[in-house]
Chain A
Amino acid sequence: MSAVKRYQHGSRVPGWDQAADLDKDPAGVPDPALVEVPAALRAEIEEAMARYPERHSAALPALAAAQRLHGWCSPEAIEQVACVMRVTPAYLSSVASFYDMFELEPVGRHSVYVCTNISCSLRGADALYDAIETAAAGDRQINLRHFECLGACDIAPMVSVDHLYYGPLELADAQRLIDDLQAGREPIPDLALARLRSADPDANS
Chain B
Amino acid sequence: MRTAPILLHDIDEPGLASLAVYERRGGYQSLRKALAMEPSAVLAELDASGLRGRGGAGFPAGRKAAFLPQGDMDRYLVCNADESEPGTFKDRELMQKSPHMLIEGIMIAAHAAQTNHAFIYIRGEYEAQARILDLALAEAAAAGYTGEHVLGGDFSCSLVLHRGAGAYICGEETGLLDSLEGKRGNPRLKPPFPAIQGLYQGPTLINNVETLSTMPHIIAMGGAEYAKLGVSGSAGTKVVSVSGHVQRPGNYEIELGTPSREIIFDLAGGPPEGRAVKLWFPGGSSSPVLTAADLDVPYDFDSLAKAGTMLGSGAIIVVDDSTPVLDVALKLAKFYRHESCGKCTPCREGTNWTVRMLERIDAGEATPMDLDIMSSVQEHIIGNCLCVLGDAMAMPIGSMIAKFRGEFEAHMQSRQLAGAGAGAL
CB-contacts of A32-63 with B (<8 A): 51-54, 56-61, 63
Nearest chain B CB to A158 CB, angstrom units: 10
CB-contacts of B105-160 with A (<8 A): 117, 123-128, 160
Do A151 and B89 touch across chains, with their CB atoms under 8 A apart?
A: yes
A60-B163, A164-B127 known; A200 vs B87 contact (CB < 8 Å):
no
A63-B165, A101-B165, A118-B331 known; A204 vs B10 contact (CB < 8 Å):
yes
With a cutoff of 8 Å between Cβ atoms, the chain B residues found around residue A99 in the complex are 124, 164-167, 185
Binary flags per residue of A98-112, CB closer than 8 Å to B gives 1, else 0: 111110000000000
Specify the chain A residue showing the minimal Cβ separation from B132.
Answer: A194
Do A153 and B87 touch across chains, with their CB atoms under 8 A apart?
A: yes
Do A205 and B87 touch across chains, with their CB atoms under 8 A apart?
A: no
A8 to B238, CA, bound (A): 54
Specify the chain B residue showing the minimal Cβ separation from A165.
Answer: B128
Do B179 and A53 touch across chains, with their CB atoms under 8 A apart?
A: no
A94 to B185, CA, bound (A): 11
A102 to B165, CA, bound (A): 7
Residue B306 lies at the interface, judged by CB distance under 8 Å to chain A: no
Do B251 and A154 touch across chains, with their CB atoms under 8 A apart?
A: yes
Residue B317 lies at the interface, judged by CB distance under 8 Å to chain A: yes
From B160, B166, B335, contact of A100 by CB (8 A): B166
Do A154 and B125 touch across chains, with their CB atoms under 8 A apart?
A: no
Do A153 and B241 touch across chains, with their CB atoms under 8 A apart?
A: yes
Residue B415 lies at the interface, judged by CB distance under 8 Å to chain A: no
A201 to B2, CA, bound (A): 11
Residue B162 lies at the interface, judged by CB distance under 8 Å to chain A: yes
Do B167 and A202 touch across chains, with their CB atoms under 8 A apart?
A: no
Residue A172 lies at the interface, judged by CB distance under 8 Å to chain B: no
A60 to B161, CA, bound (A): 12
CB-contacts of B327-341 with A (<8 A): 328, 331-332, 335, 338-339, 341
CB-contacts of A172-205 with B (<8 A): 193-194, 197-205
Residue B184 lies at the interface, judged by CB distance under 8 Å to chain A: yes
CB-contacts of A63-103 with B (<8 A): 63-64, 94-95, 98-102
Do B243 and A119 touch across chains, with their CB atoms under 8 A apart?
A: yes
Residue A127 lies at the interface, judged by CB distance under 8 Å to chain B: no
A204 to B253, CA, bound (A): 11
A9 to B339, CA, bound (A): 26
Specify the chain A residue showing the minimal Cβ separation from B239.
Answer: A200
Q: Which stretch, B63-71, B78-86, B217-225, touches the partner chain A?
A: B78-86
Residue A156 lies at the interface, judged by CB distance under 8 Å to chain B: yes
With a cutoff of 8 Å between Cβ atoms, the chain B residues found around residue A122 in the complex are 244-245, 317, 319, 323
Do A151 and B92 touch across chains, with their CB atoms under 8 A apart?
A: yes
A199-B248, A201-B267 known; A59 vs B183 contact (CB < 8 Å):
yes
Nearest chain A CB to B12 CB, angstrom units: 5
From A56, A58, A202, contact of B253 by CB (8 A): A202
With a cutoff of 8 Å between Cβ atoms, the chain B residues found around residue A193 in the complex are 128
A205 to B185, CA, bound (A): 41
Do B123 and A151 touch across chains, with their CB atoms under 8 A apart?
A: yes
Residue A148 lies at the interface, judged by CB distance under 8 Å to chain B: yes
A122-B245, A204-B13 known; A59 vs B182 contact (CB < 8 Å):
yes
Nearest chain A CB to B312 CB, angstrom units: 14
A179 to B251, CA, bound (A): 32
- Residue among B13, B92, B125 facing the most chain A CB atoms (10 A cut-off): B125
From B168, B183, B267, B341, contact of A200 by CB (8 A): B267
Residue B354 lies at the interface, judged by CB distance under 8 Å to chain A: no
Residue B5 lies at the interface, judged by CB distance under 8 Å to chain A: yes
Specify the chain B residue showing the minimal Cβ separation from A121.
Answer: B331
With a cutoff of 8 Å between Cβ atoms, the chain A residues found around residue B331 in the complex are 117-118, 121
From A153, A160, A198, contact of B8 by CB (8 A): A198
Do A58 and B182 touch across chains, with their CB atoms under 8 A apart?
A: yes
With a cutoff of 8 Å between Cβ atoms, the chain A residues found around residue B182 in the complex are 54, 56-60, 95
Residue B265 lies at the interface, judged by CB distance under 8 Å to chain A: no
Do B5 and A52 touch across chains, with their CB atoms under 8 A apart?
A: no
Residue B372 lies at the interface, judged by CB distance under 8 Å to chain A: no
A6 to B252, CA, bound (A): 51
Q: List 18 A-B contacts (CB under 8 A).
A: A54-B182, A56-B181, A101-B166, A117-B86, A118-B87, A119-B243, A122-B317, A122-B319, A154-B250, A193-B128, A194-B96, A198-B11, A198-B97, A200-B8, A200-B252, A200-B253, A203-B11, A204-B9
Across the A-B interface, the 8 shortest Cβ-Cβ residue pairs: A199-B250, A153-B243, A100-B166, A59-B182, A99-B165, A163-B127, A56-B182, A101-B166
Interface residues of B (CB under 8 A from A): 2, 4-5, 8-13, 74, 83-89, 91-93, 96-97, 117, 123-128, 160, 162-168, 179-185, 200, 241, 243-245, 248-253, 267-268, 285, 315, 317, 319, 323, 328, 331-332, 335, 338-339, 341
